[in-house]
Amino acid sequence: MPLDPRHRFDSLVIGAGNRLAAAAARAVAEAPATTYNPLYIYGGPGLGKTHLLGAVAELASLLQPDLEIEYLTLDELRARWMMAISTGETALLAQRFDRVDMLLLDDVQFLAGQREAQAELLRLATSLMERGNQLVMTSDRPPSEIAGLDERLVSRLGGGLVVDVAPPDFETRVAILRVVAAERGLSFEPGVLEEVGRVAYPSVRELLGALTRVQAVIAIGERAQAIDVPRILGTHSTPSAPMHRTEARASGTEFESFLSEMQTVVQQQMERWQVRLQESIAYWAGEGYRTAVLERALELPREPDVSGLMATFAAAVEHLRGLATQAAAVDPALGGHAVFRDPERMAEAEDLVEQALQGTTPPGGPSPSFQREGFEVGSSNQLAVHAADAVISEPGRKYNPLLVYGPSGVGKTHLVHAIGNAIAAQSGGATVVACVHAQQLIDELIAAIQGGTVERWRTRYRSAGVLVVDDVQFVAGKERTQEEFFLVFNAMIEAGQQILLTSDRPPAEIPELEARLRSRFEGGLSTPIQSPDRELRERLFARYLLAAGRPTDPSLLRALGEHPIHSVREIAGLVHRLGAAADAAGEPLNATLARAELGLTALDERAPVRRSSQGIGDVAVFLDREKVIWDWPDASARLIEELR
Amino acid sequence: MSLVNYATREITCKIVYYGPGRSGKTTNLHYIYGQVPSDRKGQMVSLATQTDRTLFFDFLPLDLGTISGFTTRFQLYTVPGQVYYQATRKLVLQGADGVVFVADSQSRQLAENIESFQDLHANLADHGVDARGVPLVIQYNKQDLPGDLILPVAELEDQLNFRGVPSYSADALHGPGVFETLRGISELVLRRLSPTTAGGR
């Protein structure tokens, strides 16, 4: 059904009774399906509900010309269904509605008691909402008061915004009369329209009917100034004593003329651009934003681009809100920072967020030189490597945390970094692996406590997918670090994020470690790495010699393998030393040279120690006083005895 | 008190009727009260002595309805004219958006008029308000009295209206001039709605 082209927002007189409905309708027309969906407008007949629907359609199609808008009364909708059912074209009708972007449905109160129509409307409304299309309805009563309305439909119709239109007040009635009089090209003596408006008609239609009657009386020749409006409208017999009535009318005129003049003055003043700006300032100030920039615009001698200014301000506020949300995600305390309330401090706000984000970027990743492939496996580290492989295949699930302990230089750091590298690689870089030395952890926490950014410190560590903490024994005795680490630890374990730790001793032997942390360290897997055995030493020497471009003949490796070492780092050092010795001697490195360089000094010194350590049992026997012959007989005496 | 509250969309004008005792300030308000249809006016509050002298102040709220989306209200106050109610006058004057100075046109009241007019300026100054920035109109009341009792408007103008503000002759008891005065002050006040002319309000 075509809409009356006169039904536009600019021809709508807005008063207290319909302000909310008009504002909602305008919002819907400006941005369909984003604000109030569905919009349900109700109110008595003749109060401009259909006018509002028409205005929505007019404005929406003006703003988005390709918008498909359909206006129907409920009766028409029902008739279409009937027709579709009788011709078997219900699917076609459904398709037709599927193309509609905005459906305006008038007089839905006729749904009362109509089960079929309700079911159809429910289906239609659901389908519209699901496709993100706008539904606007009018009715003479709220959804909950439509008799026999399906509960689902009540909640569906009331799900957006339900807003009422009340009868116009005196000023609105007069304003409506003036607008209509102007439309009809009528002019009245001062006070006539006010007199008509004084009658509190329940609907605008009746009000306009009264105007028409007055118009008709004038048309038959009664002099305009002599019009007795109450007589024409038959409102003479309204209660209140006639004498008072006359007095009130006579005296009311003086006040009314004062009122009408004041209205003109206020209207003139309130249409100025400063007023729009002031309203905007009041709004944003109410929202808690600094509006100094808008206030400065008020001082401008000429009208600036107020709409542009307001839009820019709104955009700036939007941006600030985004920044505040970002900051609050990092550190809730930051969300309320004053810079997020002042569009003029946008740069500061951005800096703050950037800093906050930097402060929460997880620590650096594992060293790329520590790869799992480069890790030599021997009997001394077999268990740890096996555990490492298990963690790589199921990060965060198999052994969490994995704690590797052992003396310095046996490859603990290499192994945990290698796990980190492998997990990062297999996730395609998606998993953030953070590696940190325990001392760094402590230092950063102290700085965070100083700067009041502990929350950010936590976020920084919790945001990692895999956290590697080296030399975790350093947290011993650091109470606050242990407490904070405990929180981070729990959060990560719960979230299934892998934690890898190294220590120079098993957790049970770390002094001043809180029991709750110790038990958690041990809750995963603690595995030792021991000093490399001979076979592993030979292989490690072979690798380092090869890397240094030195010969790796078996006799040399055997000779070197004899050399007892405790850490892999030592091997690297020895290779450098031997290389230098060979260069000095001017011959390639061989077993003899190596023995000469290490063996004579190092082997001789170390060998007895080693032997003694191997023969501890023997020494113990000798130390048993009962089993030692302390006084041997004199040799000459023995000989003499034997010779006898 | 701000004239316009943009957040709640309200315009509230406080207009104070000032002047010497018995010059007819309360009479002005009574006349206005009598003219306003009952749905427009609030209860007029009058704190008067038995001899009808204003003891504290009169207060008449007027509802002008919704204009351009702004709920517009006028609050009309009178101050007690007698010299010894100085503190009350000062209190009532606080936050006034406009002042009507009601002068008694009787020749023997001239000194009181001048004194009260100076008192007004002193009180405004005490509130830290520059009297030149406050909308002000003068009403020469009791112009209906016999000519030999009153001073002509021209002479009153000479004596009182050195600032050249709008002035009105009136007969507050019977009405002439009352609404003209109210209209005059209201326009002055309302013209200040827009910020640039409001002197940074």
Across A414-433, average pLDDT = 88
Closest partner residue to B6 (CB to CB) among A169, A172, A282 is A282
pLDDT number for residue A568? 79
Least reliable range by pLDDT among A4-8, A130-134, A250-254: A250-254
**Residue B26 in contact with partner chain A when CB distance is under 8 A:** no
pLDDT tens for each residue of A503-524: 998 888 888 888 888 888 888 8
Q: Which residues of A60-99 are buried (b: 16+ CB within 10 A; e: fewer)?
A: beeebeebebbbbbbeebbebbeebeeeeeeeebeeebee
Least reliable range by pLDDT among A125-129, A330-334, A404-408, A458-462: A330-334
Closest partner residue to B195 (CB to CB) among A259, A266, A274 is A274
| Surface of B (50-109) touching A: CB under 8 A | 64-70, 72
Contact B187 A261 (CB under 8 A): yes
Chain B residues with beta carbon closer than 8 angstroms to that of A286:
7
pLDDT number for residue A269? 75
Which residue in the block uniquely carries the two structure tokens 């009105």? B168
Interface with A, mutate which of B194, B197, B201 (most A CBs under 10 A): B194
pLDDT tens for each residue of A455-473: 878 887 888 889 999 998 9
pLDDT number for residue B17? 94
Contact between A40 and A158 (Cβ < 8 Å): yes
Which stretches in chain B have pLDDT values below 50?
1, 196-201
Read off the amino acid at residue A348: E
pLDDT above 60 (res A616) = no
Extract the tokens encoding A10: 């600019």
* d(C-alpha A324, C-alpha A481), whole Å: 29
> Cα separations (Å) of A321 from A318, A501, A592, B7?
5, 40, 76, 21
Please report, for chain A, how many H helices and E strands are present, in that order: 28, 10
Higher pLDDT, B149 or A332: B149
Confidence tier at A93 by pLDDT (50, 70, 90)? confident
Confidence tier at A252 by pLDDT (50, 70, 90)? low
pLDDT above 90 (res A13) = no
Q: How many CB atoms lie within 10 A of CB B127?
A: 14
Contact A279 B6 (CB under 8 A): yes
pLDDT number for residue B48? 58
Least reliable range by pLDDT among A226-240, A268-282, A406-420: A226-240
A interface with B, Cβ–Cβ below 8 Å: 14-16, 19, 169-172, 248, 251-252, 254-255, 257-259, 261-263, 265-267, 269-272, 274-275, 277-279, 281-283, 285-286, 298-299
Confidence tier at A223 by pLDDT (50, 70, 90)? low
The half-sphere exposure of A631 on its side-chain side, counting CA atoms within 13 A, is 1
Least reliable range by pLDDT among A40-54, A65-79, A600-614, B130-144: A600-614
Q: In what order do the strands lie in the sheet with A102-106?
A: A69-73, A102-106, A134-139, A39-43, A161-165
Extract the tokens encoding B123: 């009180």
Residue from A188, A136, A163 nearest A31 by CA: A136
Contact A270 B193 (CB under 8 A): yes
Residue from A103, A96, A113 nearest A67 by CA: A103
pLDDT number for residue A358? 73
pLDDT number for residue A634? 59
pLDDT number for residue A598? 74
pLDDT number for residue A367? 85
pLDDT above 80 (res A1) = no
pLDDT number for residue A554? 82
pLDDT above 80 (res A326) = yes
pLDDT number for residue B100? 96
pLDDT number for residue B185? 93
Which contacts qualify for A446-449: CB closer than 8 Å, 24 or more apart?
A449/A480
For chain A, what percent of residues have pLDDT higher than 70? 86
pTM for this prediction: 0.39
Contact B6 A278 (CB under 8 A): yes
Chain A residues with beta carbon closer than 8 angstroms to that of B70:
266, 270
Least reliable range by pLDDT among A192-196, A537-541, A586-590, B41-45: B41-45
Contact B196 A271 (CB under 8 A): no
Across A301-317, average pLDDT = 85
Across A107-134, average pLDDT = 82
Mean pLDDT computed over every residue of chain A: 79
pLDDT number for residue B168? 93
pLDDT number for residue B199? 40
**Residue B5 in contact with partner chain A when CB distance is under 8 A:** yes
pLDDT number for residue B108? 92
Chain B residues with beta carbon closer than 8 angstroms to that of A299:
196
Contact B70 A266 (CB under 8 A): yes
Chain B residues with beta carbon closer than 8 angstroms to that of A170:
39, 65
pLDDT above 70 (res A192) = yes
CB pairs under 8 A between A and B: 96
Contact B72 A269 (CB under 8 A): no
Residue in chain A lying closest to B8 (CA): A282
* d(C-alpha B178, C-alpha B169), whole Å: 9
Chain A residues with beta carbon closer than 8 angstroms to that of B34:
251
Confidence tier at A250 by pLDDT (50, 70, 90)? very low
Q: How far is B83 from chain A (nearest CA, A)?
A: 33
Domain ranges of chain B: 3-199
pLDDT number for residue A16? 76
**Residue B179 in contact with partner chain A when CB distance is under 8 A:** yes
> Which CATH superfamily is B3-199 part of?
P-loop containing nucleotide triphosphate hydrolases (3.40.50.300)
Across A212-239, average pLDDT = 59
Interaxial angle between packed helices A454-462 and A479-494, expressed in degrees from 0 to 180 and rounded to the nearest 10: 40
**Residue B199 in contact with partner chain A when CB distance is under 8 A:** no
Give the burial class of A470: count Cβ atoms within 10 A of its Cβ; 0-12 exposed, 13-18 middle, 19 or more buried.
buried
Residue from A56, A53, A55 nearest A72 by CA: A53
> Cα separations (Å) of A507 from A406, A409, A511?
11, 19, 9
* d(C-alpha A81, C-alpha A72), whole Å: 12
* Winning range, highest mean pLDDT, from A488-497, A624-633, B76-85, B137-146: B137-146
Chain B residues with beta carbon closer than 8 angstroms to that of A171:
65-67
